[in-house]
Amino acid sequence: MRQTRFAAIALLAALAASSADAMEIKRVISPGGIEAWLVESHANPLIAMRFAFRGGAAQDPRDRQGLAYFVSGMMDEGAGGLDSVAFQERLQSLATRMDFDAGRDVMLGNVQMLTANKDESFELLRLAMSKPRFDADAIERVRGQIIAGLKFDENDPEEVASLAWDRLAFRDHPYGRPIKGTKASIAAITRDDLHGYLRRVFARDKLAITVVGDIDAETLGRALDHVFGALPQRSELAPVADVKPPLGPAREIIEMNVPQSVAQFGHRAFPRKDDDFMAAYILNYIIGGGGFSSRLMEEVREKRGLAYSVHSNLFPYQHGAVFVGNVATQNERVGQSLEVIESELRRLAEEGPSAEELAGAKSYLTGAYALRFESSSSIANQLLWIQIEDLGIDYIDRRNTLIENVSLDDIRRVAKRLIEADRLITTIVGKPVEARPKAAPG
């Protein structure tokens, strides 16, 4: 079964690779000095634009948690002379998609349009950027939607475990606060707060843009000035300190009357610019990022049947990176599942992966990379994150070589450096048995 799955992935990767290899990324500078990366393609009459303002939820004031998230929900709720209903109807009539999302470090924007409607679509985006209405009725409607979502999240074990883990790991740092805010903080946000966030964060000096599709560089340059040219030249971001999450052991149990407990575990990791990040990225695939081919899935699910799923990931946030894993299992099996996870992490730290595991991880990660570039929107998204993480316009050409250059000695050394199996921060939500709390991190 595993060989069949890998063969299918390899075939899809081969089919996608030709388009990825042929992709030309142009750096476009508008007459007004606004930069974007462009992949010009006239195969379909479509244009996809992704953009980001650096800042994100980390710029939320302490007493206005969830402000960036609130702003992201308001950006398509009317602008200029169009109220919310008229704005949405105009987007629909143009077959244009526009949405925004708030991350920890960035505010993300996405617009997809037909080439024939690009001028009107770009005009709607300009209005949203520079003349959002933030009408009272729209504010209250979006506020109600966010609060309803927060109430739903209170009964979601995974969400509760994640929020508790962030609080333990990041403490008073902005990363320790919920991106969506709290019911009290969302209730306190005013129209002035929304405008204030835009004024501080939506500026040209912290803007990254990628465009893919049926548009040439000259036309895009004019569009960039039209859409973003009226924004302030410089942002007014509050400084955000770098943070190094404390090491455990620490374990917090949050009781919830559910038949299955959810646990989140992890600790500090390497920033994106660290020389060992690529080795850590491959190592994470071997640990828990590789689905059924990962160590944790093999040991926890396949061999022992303790959980349906277990996985891990690296999150190299701008001001503090973490390695985080998750497992969901029956209340009676939480303690045993965590013991197996800690034991396997300890073994990986001591012995490192095998040569076969490293070869398999490299094969998948290099072969599947082309699948991230199978549509205009996915290409734009990949290029945007390459910009956000400052990896260079040639990163796509270099990325697989960086993976191939990681040796067995490298990954074994990095396993010792990264993994702290006895110093995990763990949060458990449910009614677990045999999962006693440990001391809080020092």
Provide the pLDDT confidence category of residue 435 given band limits of 50, 70 and 90: low
The CA distance from 437 to 383, in Å, is: 43
Could you tell me the two tokens for 61? 């004031």
Q: Mapping DSSP to helix (H, G, I), strand (E, B) and coil, where does residue 132 land?
A: strand
Provide the pLDDT confidence category of residue 23 given band limits of 50, 70 and 90: confident
Q: Which helix (H) or strand (E) holds 254?
A: strand 250-255
State how far the alpha carbon of 243 is from the alpha carbons of 250, 317, 319, 387, in Å: 18, 10, 6, 22
Choice among 2-11, 103-112, 279-288, 363-372 with the minimum mean pLDDT: 2-11
* Residue of 315, 180, 313 lying closest to 245 (CA atoms): 315
* Residue of 286, 293, 302 lying closest to 352 (CA atoms): 286
The CA distance from 163 to 150, in Å, is: 12
Pairing of strands 46-54, 97-102: unpaired
Please check whether residue 245 is in contact with residue 440, taking contact to mean a CB–CB distance below 8 angstroms. Answer: no
Which residue in the block uniquely carries the two structure tokens 């410089």? 234
Which residue has better confidence, 158 or 4?
Answer: 158
Residues 6 or more apart in contact with residue 175 via CB below 8 angstroms:
58, 104, 166, 169, 243, 317, 319, 320
Phi, psi for residue 104 in degrees, rounded to 5: -65, -45
Provide the pLDDT confidence category of residue 433 given band limits of 50, 70 and 90: confident
Domain with CATH 3.30.830.10 in the chain: 22-228, 250-430
| Residue 361 in this model has a pLDDT that exceeds 60 | yes
What is 22-228's CATH superfamily? Answer: Metalloenzyme, LuxS/M16 peptidase-like (3.30.830.10)
Long-range contacts, 309-314 (Cβ 8 Å, 24+) = 310/337, 310/341, 312/266, 312/284, 312/287, 312/288, 313/284, 313/288, 313/289, 314/269, 314/270, 314/280, 314/281, 314/284, 314/289
| Residue 4 in this model has a pLDDT that exceeds 60 | no
What is 250-430's CATH superfamily? Answer: Metalloenzyme, LuxS/M16 peptidase-like (3.30.830.10)
| Residue 222 in this model has a pLDDT that exceeds 90 | yes
* Residue of 268, 260, 48, 293 lying closest to 156 (CA atoms): 260
pLDDT tens-digit series, residues 328-345: 999 999 999 999 999 999
Could you tell me the two tokens for 213? 């599709």
Mean pLDDT of 127-145: 98
Helix-strand-coil split of the chain, %, nearest 5: 50, 20, 30
The CA distance from 244 to 169, in Å, is: 9
Please check whether residue 190 is in contact with residue 28, taking contact to mean a CB–CB distance below 8 angstroms. Answer: no
The CA distance from 145 to 139, in Å, is: 10
Mean pLDDT of 36-56: 97
Provide the pLDDT confidence category of residue 21 given band limits of 50, 70 and 90: low
Whether the predicted model's global pTM rises above the 0.75 cut = yes
What mean pLDDT, rounded, does the chain reach?
A: 93
pLDDT tens-digit series, residues 177-220: 999 999 999 999 999 999 999 999 999 999 999 999 999 999 99
Please check whether residue 427 is in contact with residue 261, taking contact to mean a CB–CB distance below 8 angstroms. Answer: no
pLDDT for res 1: 39
- Compute the CA torsion angle 271, 275, 278, 282 (nearest 10 deg): -100
Please check whether residue 48 is in contact with residue 36, taking contact to mean a CB–CB distance below 8 angstroms. Answer: no
CA 439 remoteness from chain centre: 30
Provide the pLDDT confidence category of residue 391 given band limits of 50, 70 and 90: very high
Mean pLDDT of 107-132: 98
Provide the pLDDT confidence category of residue 387 given band limits of 50, 70 and 90: very high
The CA distance from 187 to 31, in Å, is: 43
What is the CA angle 182-186-227, rounded to 5?
Answer: 120
